[in-house]
């Protein structure tokens, strides 16, 4: 009950500090949303993309699920929640960026790596099976399941999801036309760093090092 009271108090504060602000940012949003970016993030309570990137309402269109997975394109009769959110972002909102945001200490990836623990589950085991080929590759490479292989699987899972995005014909088309960019980001909770996959070096590097503007700002701060 304490948490519920905290959420209600938080909402009251949002109304006072944001909703009723004199410049009325929400009034503009009532006309419609126009985010340029969609984020596919994990459901983990510590990795809310709006919070860690300090976004305002209207900034990002978000779908979250266990282990930030994008399943490959499938045109069957199933209920494709993630794919329909991506379709809405790309076809209707016409976002320019799709970010797959993974993170360290991911419980979803841990469950994938120790899948005996979740074999009994009704939905989770099957959901995580999208990433089973990634798990096999990582375990083959490291020879065992340990902290390092779990981290590698978190990162490799992001790249697999980015690759899966390209199996959607209308995403592939827009990327080819230069209208859409795909990004693989990794929030390293222990260091508080946000890393981005760099195609040139095939590694995840801190975003402040990759982005010239951020790099300059960081250098200014340290002077």
Residues of this chain that bind Zn ion (CB under 5 A): 42, 44, 106, 108
If the CB atoms of residues 106 and 158 are measured against Zn ion, the closer one turns out to be: 106
Determine whether the annotation assigns residue 114 to a binding site: no
Nearer to Zn ion (CB atom), residue 156 or residue 180: 156
Closer by beta carbon to Zn ion, 35 or else 108: 108
> Smallest distance from the beta carbon of 108 to Zn ion, in angstroms?
5
The tokens of 90 are what? 């790309």
Residue 60: CB atoms within 10 A of its CB come to: 22
48 labelled binding-site residue: no
Q: Whole-number minimum distance, CB 202 to Zn ion, in Å?
A: 23
Say if CB 108 and CB 67 are below 8 A apart.
Answer: yes
Ligand-binding annotation for 211, yes or no, is no
DSSP letter, residue 17? I
Whose Cβ is closer to Zn ion: residue 38's or residue 90's? Answer: 38
For residue 139, the minimal CB distance to Zn ion (Å) is 19
Q: What is the DSSP letter of 33?
A: -
**Minimum distance of Zn ion from residue 67's CB (angstroms):** 5
106 annotated ligand binder: yes
Cα 110 from Cα 212, distance rounded (Å)? 34
E strand segments, the chain = 37-42, 60-65, 97-103, 181-188, 193-198, 203-206
Q: Tell me the C-alpha distance between 69 and 72, whole Å.
A: 9
Pick out the residues of the known binding site for Zn(2+).
42, 44, 103, 106
């Amino acid at each position: 009950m304490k948490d519920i009271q905290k959420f209600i108090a938080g909402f009251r504060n949002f109304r006072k500090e944001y909703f009723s602000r004199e410049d009325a940012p929400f009034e503009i949003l009532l006309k419609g949303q126009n985010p340029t970016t969609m984020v596919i993030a994990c459901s983990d309570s510590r990795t809310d993309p709006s919070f860690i990137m300090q976004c305002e309402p209207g900034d990002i269109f978000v779908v979250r699920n266990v282990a930030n997975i994008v399943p490959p394109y499938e045109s069957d009769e199933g209920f494709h929640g993630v794919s329909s959110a991506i379709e809405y972002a790309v076809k209707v909102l016409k976002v320019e960026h799709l970010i797959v945001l993974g993170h360290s200490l991911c419980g979803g990836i841990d469950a994938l790596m120790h899948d005996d623990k979740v074999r009994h589950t009704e939905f989770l085991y099957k959901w995580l099976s999208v990433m089973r080929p990634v798990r096999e590759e990582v375990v083959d490479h490291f020879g065992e399941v340990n902290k390092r292989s779990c981290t590698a699987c978190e990162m490799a899972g992001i790249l697999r999801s980015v690759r899966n995005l390209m199996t959607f014909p209308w995403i592939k088309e827009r990327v080819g036309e230069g209208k859409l960019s795909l990004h693989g980001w990794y929030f390293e909770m222990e260091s508080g760093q946000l890393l981005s996959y760099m195609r040139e070096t095939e590694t995840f590097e801190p975003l402040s090092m990759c982005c010239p503007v951020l790099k300059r700002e960081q250098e200014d701060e340290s002077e």
